[in-house]
Amino acid sequence: MKKLVRFTNGFLVLVSASGFIPSVRAADPTRFVSVSGSCIRNAIPDRGAITVTAESRDADGKRAQAMATKLYEAVRSKTAALKLPDSELSTSEFTSEEAKEWVKDRMVSRGFHTRIGLRVETSDTSRLGEVMDLASREGIKQISGMQLFVSSKKLLDEKMACLKDAAEQSRAKADTLAKSLGAKVGEVTSIQESSSGYNPPPMPMFGAAMAMDESRAAPAPKIEAGKVEVSITVNATFSLH
């Protein structure tokens, strides 16, 4: 017996000599549910950094550079001797310029000013206080750029763990919505993900007040790492049956 297959009003219909035989309802591409899932985790910073700057002023430019370089090298070598875990030492700046001032009708030289910055980074954030104490005892007048942050690797690991939770939550929400309205969730048709992981910017801290002799120097402060919020949002669309 010859049979024809066609769609009528959204139903799959078999046409035969004996008449119409209704079958399974075809999937309707206009029936879908869109939901979002989210996850928030608090990551503890695993890296910290601080910048100490050696400065000098002198009427002679070469002497100004030599004095700043001597102070910089002293602080750098003593910081290296601390053997901070996973430490990275880098020169953050080097400037040497003549300071001039307008007096009456002409520019007057006020000598030369040299600055050399040393950025100290370590995985043991609690020991940054030792660097501050060392720098102040060596005569450093500027300590700045304090930053506690989550490393790229740890941030990625936290986001991947959060991504799974957010995706599972989106599916659970879709199932709950569909079931409450008498429908059933089918395959996922689209997925979008967005994330954020805020690392606080560097903070200026400890100015000229740090420049004091060892007998009057304050004890190194305790560094608290705090937490960094990592969040993931998954937007998903599912077909409905």
pLDDT for the residue 226: 76
Give 17 or 106, the one with higher predicted confidence.
106
Q: Taking the mean position of all CA atoms in its chain, how far away is CA 30?
A: 40
Distance CA 52, CA 65 (A): 16
Query: Region 159-186: what's the mean pLDDT?
Result: 92
pLDDT at 87 > cutoff 80: yes
Q: Which domains does the chain have, with CATH numbers?
A: 1-27 (no CATH), 47-150+200-228 (3.30.70.2970)
pLDDT for the residue 197: 64
**What percent of the chain clears pLDDT 90, i.e. is strictly above it?**
56
Contacts of 23 (CB under 8 A, 6+ apart): 11, 12, 13, 14
Give 3 or 174, the one with higher predicted confidence.
174
pLDDT for the residue 221: 63
pLDDT at 132 > cutoff 90: yes
Residue 215 CB burial class (10 angstroms; 0-12, 13-18, ≥19):
exposed
pLDDT at 154 > cutoff 70: yes
pLDDT at 2 > cutoff 70: no
Phi-psi region of 50 (alpha: psi -120 to 50; beta: other; left: phi over 0): beta
pLDDT for the residue 238: 93
Distance CA 78, CA 81 (A): 5
Query: Region 163-167: what's the mean pLDDT?
Result: 93
Query: Region 142-171: what's the mean pLDDT?
Result: 91
Q: What is the pLDDT of residues 169-178, one digit of tens each?
A: 999 999 999 9
pLDDT for the residue 202: 55
Query: Region 188-198: what's the mean pLDDT?
Result: 84
Give 190 or 3, the one with higher predicted confidence.
190
pLDDT for the residue 103: 80
pLDDT at 109 > cutoff 90: no
Query: Region 23-50: what's the mean pLDDT?
Result: 80
pLDDT band of residue 14 (cuts 50, 70, 90) is very low
**What percent of the chain clears pLDDT 70, i.e. is strictly above it?**
76
Q: What is the pLDDT of residues 32-42, one digit of tens each?
A: 999 999 999 98
Residue 193, strand partner residues = 234
pLDDT for the residue 60: 93
Query: Region 185-211: what's the mean pLDDT?
Result: 68
